[in-house]
Amino acid sequence: MSTPSQVSTRIEDPGSVDDAIASRFSARAFLPRPVPRETIEGILEVARRSPSGTNTQPWRVYVLQGASREALVAQVCAAHDAIYADPSLAQEYPEDWDYYPRQWVSPYLDRRRENGWGLYGLLGIARGEKDKMHAQHQRNFRFFDAPVGLMFTIDRVLGRGSLMDYGMFLQNIMVAARARGLHTCPQAAWNGFSRIVLPHIGAGPDEMLVCGMSLGWADETAPVNHFHTPREPVASFTRWLD
């Protein structure tokens, strides 16, 4: 089978590519409908063409379904509940790398708050309802009921540039999933439980958890899936230099 020419291939329907990108969002409710292995493999086949500095290809992917998925969910949810009961236990689960800043400033803090309270408001969770907030946060560790959980690791020896490469790989997965009618939710929430995740998936000591991801068929009737985050207009983040 011949390989299509990258330089001469023409995109006959650019609107479909745009739609796949624009319709991507973080789905937080999925149907129990299974995703065939060949579909997942097809998504990864496309995503592996992501660019990376000097073609290092820093990604390693672990696909969890069935019993392996359920076992991880049970372990991490138990740890999450234990921390809620005794916050001092959180120190036993340090993150390997800082995804978020140590100190929030505007406009990022404002956007974060808008996102959080917009989501909780849609779900009917008021300020101070800690039990409800905990339960909603734990939905992350149930993969939002998606039948497929993905875990992504990277070799600890690699630098920050490889994390940028990784972001492009993750985006390709999410866009390729949309092209197949699927939805995703990338999840940094798993990073705090890497000491549970990494042994469970069989990762070696040289590997660091980058993030997790839920993959499946979005529940279109779930109110939470009607929450869509705003985006800044192009003019607000672009400077044209002539």
Residues in the chain where the model's pLDDT stays below 50:
none
Write down the pLDDT at residue 2: 61
- Cα four-point dihedral sign 114, 118, 120, 121: positive
Q: Which helix (H) or strand (E) holds 116?
A: helix 108-122
Tokens linked to 79: 């740890």
pLDDT in tens, 15-73: 999 999 999 999 999 999 999 999 999 999 999 999 999 999 999 999 999 999 999 99
88 phi and psi angles, rounded to 5 deg: -65, -20
**Percentage of the chain with pLDDT > 70?**
98
The SS3 assignment for 197 reads helix
> Residue 123: how many CA atoms within 13 Å on its side-chain side?
22
Q: Under a CB-based contact definition with an 8 Å cutoff, are residues 151 and 212 in contact?
A: yes
Task: Measure Cα distances from 202 to 71, 146, 182, 213 in Å.
Answer: 13, 21, 27, 17
Torsion of the alpha carbons at 167, 171, 174 and 176, rounded to the nearest 10: -130
For all residues of the chain together, what is the average pLDDT? Answer: 96
Q: Under a CB-based contact definition with an 8 Å cutoff, are residues 136 and 125 in contact?
A: yes
Q: Under a CB-based contact definition with an 8 Å cutoff, are residues 178 and 18 in contact?
A: no
Q: Which helix (H) or strand (E) holds 154?
A: strand 148-155
Q: Which helix (H) or strand (E) holds 22?
A: helix 14-22
98 phi and psi angles, rounded to 5 deg: -85, 105
Distance CA 99, CA 92 (A): 18
Q: Which amino acid is at 150?
A: L
Strands 60-64, 183-187: pairing kind: unpaired
The structural domains of the chain, ordered by start, are: 16-86+140-227 (3.40.109.10)
| CB count in 10 Å sphere of residue 165 | 22
Nearest to 212 by CA among 196, 223, 230: 196
Q: What percent of the residues of the chain are helix, what percent strand, and what percent coil, each to the nearest 5? A: 50, 15, 35
